[in-house]
Structure 1
C-alpha cells in the first residue's frame, strides 16, 4: 500500500479488525481491548496514517460537509444567503465547500462531480440551471444522478422532471406588497424594470406584477416593462431607455436592489429626483439598499430564516428524516425614502 493512498479500510484489513473498530480507536469514543488497539496503532504508525474528517466519521458514514453551488459570489443576494447558511451549518457541526460557477453551466457540472467525489453529505443549490424557465434535459438527468447518491436542496428554483426538495421565498407576495404600496401612494403609471426573460425569478415577479396591476384595475404599459440583467450596469441601461420614452411611469418596481441603484444613478445624473420626480422600489434588501441615497424601499428575502430553513431541510434529509417537498419562507416590506405620495403638481 502507498502511504498517500492509505484508508481506514486498509488499516482494518491489515490489523484484521472491522473499520468500526479502527474508527473507535481513532476517535476514542469506546473501549477497545488493549491487544487489539496495539495492533491497530502499529499499522497506523507503520504507514504514518493521518485520518481526515471523512475517515474519522466513517462509523456514521458522514463527512459532516455540505457543498454550495451558486452562480455569482459577487452578487449580494447569494453572498449574504450563503453566509447565513454557513453560520447555521457550523452550529449543526457541518463545514462547507463553496463552488462559484461564474454563471457557467459547464462549471456547474464540474462542481457537481467534484462535490460527489469529495463525498459531501449534501448540496445546497442556488441559481444557475435551477433558475432556467425551460429545463435542459441533459442537465436534469445529470442532477437526478447526483441526487441518487446525495441529497440536494434547491433554493428559489426548480427543474422540470427533477423531484427535488425546494426552499423558496414568497416572491409573489413581495411583488404584491410593492404594487399595493405604490397604489396606496396614488401611483397609477407603474413600470417594472430589470431581470431577464427565461429566468424563473424574473418571470415570477413580472407575471405577478401584471396580475397585481390588473387586480387593482390599472393598465399595464408594455413599454414600461423591460430588462437587460440583474446588476447595477443593467439598471443604468434600462434607466437610459426609460429617459427616451415620450411618456414615463411615475413609479418603477425593479427586479432587485442592484437594478434599482443603477436606475437611480442615471435618473439623478439627468436631473430627475428620486422620489420627487419618480418613485423607485427594489427587491432583496441587500446591505447597499439601506445606504444608497435616498435609501431604497424594498422587499426583504429574510435571509436568516431562508438560510436556516435550507440547512435544516438538507440536514434532515442527510439524517434520512422526512421533509416537505416545498417550504415557503415569507418576504417582508422594508420602507425607506425612495418612494412618496404621487402629486399631479
Structure 2
C-alpha cells in the first residue's frame, strides 16, 4: 500500500497516554480537571495534546465526566407555540452549559409518553424537563406516579406548570393565577361585567388554576359567576371556535371573553367575526401565553405574557444545579405581564 493511500486514524486518549508515558486515567484527569496531576506529567500530556490538536469527541467527554451531557424534554404538542417556545429558550440555556437537548413529542398520548420516558432513561440523560399532558393532570394515575418516582431516583427532573402529587420533583411555575386576575381587573376597568372564560379541560391543573382565579377576581368586584360563561373545550383554535359558537347561541352573550390560551382566543375571534359581530366593538377578547401568534391575528390580541426566557432558563438551571449538587429551590415562580393591544375596548 502506498503512503498516500494510508488513512491516518484519529488520535485517541490511549495514543496520548502511550506517547506521554502515563495512564489513560491521567490523561482523563488532565482533560477534565477532575483531580490533581503532577505538574511534569500534566505539562507533558498538554504538550502532546497540543501537538496532535487532540479534541475528545462527545462520547469520550461523557465518559470522562460520567455524564451524557444531554437533557430530555417531553412535551405534548410541539405545534403549540407555548411548548415550542419554552423548548427553544431551554435549548439556548442548555447550549451555554455545553448540553444538547433531546426533544420528545408525546402527541398527547400516555403510551407514547411512557415510551419516551423509557428511552430517555436508557440514553442515561442527565435530566428531564416535563411539560403538559399527564404531569399537568389534577388527578394523577398511580402507575404514572410510580414511573416518575423510579425516574426521580436516578436523575433530576423538572415539571413546568404541573403539580404531580406524590412525586418529589422540581417545579417551574408560571403565576397563572395572578395573570388571570390581571385580565379580569383590566376588563372590569373597561366596564365589563359579563365576562366569559373559554377553553381548557377538566383534569388540567392549569385550567383549574385559571378558573379559580377567574372566580376569585369576579368575586372581588361583586360579580357572580355565570356557569354558562365557562366553556371547557380544549386548547386549540378549533376548540376556541366551538366554545365561542356555544356562547353566541346562549340566552346571554358576554361582552368580554378570556381565552385559556392564545390559540383559543384566536378561535373565539374567528367565531365572533363569522357571526357578523365586531371585535372589540361588540365583544372584547383576551388570550393567555403571549405567544408570537397573538400579534398576527386581527385585531392584535391583548394577552398575558409568560416569560419564556425565564421558564426555559430556570428549568435548565435547576437541572444543572442538581447535577452539581448545589442547593436550589424546589419551586420557582415566574411572573406574568399583561400586554394590552387592540382586541379590547370599553363595554358597548
After TM superposition, is the score higher than 0.5? Answer: yes
Q: How much has 1:52 moved relative to structure 2? A: 5.2
Q: Single out whichever of 304-313 and 324-333 deviates more from structure 2.
A: 304-313
* Cα pair distance change 1:32/1:139, threshold 3 Å: farther
Q: How much has 1:181 moved relative to structure 2? A: 0.2
Provide the C-alpha distance between the structure 2 equivalents of 1:114 and 1:313, rounded to a whole number of angstroms. 22
Provide the C-alpha distance between the structure 1 equivalents of 2:311 and 2:89, rounded to a whole number of angstroms. 8
Q: How much has 1:163 moved relative to structure 2? A: 1.1
Q: How much has 1:53 moved relative to structure 2? A: 2.0
Provide TM-score, normalisation by structure 2. Answer: 0.86
For the Cα contact (< 8 Å) 2:198–2:230, is it kept in 1? Answer: yes
DSSP-derived class of the 1:85 partner: helix
Provide the C-alpha distance between the structure 1 equivalents of 2:77 and 2:26, rounded to a whole number of angstroms. 44
The one of 138, 141, 148 equivalent to 2:146 is 141
User: RMSD in angstroms over aligned alpha carbons?
Assistant: 2.7
Provide the C-alpha distance between the structure 2 equivalents of 1:325 and 1:103, rounded to a whole number of angstroms. 26
For the Cα contact (< 8 Å) 1:24–1:32, is it kept in 2? Answer: no
Q: Deviations over 1:176-221 (max 9, x none)?
A: 0000000000101111111111111111101110111011111111
Q: Residue 120 in 1 paired to residue 154 in 2?
A: no
Q: Residue 257 in 1 paired to residue 267 in 2?
A: no
Match of 2:271 in 1: 266
Provide the C-alpha distance between the structure 2 equivalents of 1:289 and 1:267, rounded to a whole number of angstroms. 17
The one of 297, 306, 313 equivalent to 2:318 is 313
Q: Deviations over 1:251-276 (max 9, x none)?
A: 11110000011110011011000000
Q: Residue 93 in 1 paired to residue 98 in 2?
A: yes
Q: How much has 1:314 moved relative to structure 2? A: 1.2
Q: Single out whichever of 181-190 and 241-250 deviates more from structure 2.
A: 241-250
* Cα pair distance change 1:51/1:118, threshold 3 Å: farther
The one of 217, 234, 243 equivalent to 2:239 is 234
Match of 2:225 in 1: 220
* Cα pair distance change 1:52/1:136, threshold 3 Å: farther
DSSP-derived class of the 2:135 partner: helix
For the Cα contact (< 8 Å) 2:284–2:344, is it kept in 1? Answer: yes
Provide TM-score, normalisation by structure 1. Answer: 0.87
Structure 1 segment 172-251 matched on structure 2, within 5 A: 172-251=177-256
Q: Residue 330 in 1 paired to residue 299 in 2?
A: no
Count of residues paired in the alignment: 321
For the Cα contact (< 8 Å) 2:152–2:168, is it kept in 1? Answer: no
For the Cα contact (< 8 Å) 1:186–1:342, is it kept in 2? Answer: yes
DSSP-derived class of the 2:148 partner: helix
For the Cα contact (< 8 Å) 2:32–2:64, is it kept in 1? Answer: no
Q: What residue ranges of structure 2 are gaps of 5+ in the alignment?
A: 1-12, 46-54
For the Cα contact (< 8 Å) 1:300–1:332, is it kept in 2? Answer: yes
Q: How much has 1:54 moved relative to structure 2? A: 3.5
The one of 80, 86, 96 equivalent to 1:81 is 86
Provide the C-alpha distance between the structure 2 equivalents of 1:238 and 1:316, rounded to a whole number of angstroms. 43
The one of 289, 294, 304 equivalent to 2:309 is 304
Match of 2:72 in 1: 67
Q: Deviations over 1:41-85 (max 9, x none)?
A: xxxxxxxxx975243232322221111111110100000110011
Provide the C-alpha distance between the structure 2 equivalents of 1:56 and 1:139, rounded to a whole number of angstroms. 33
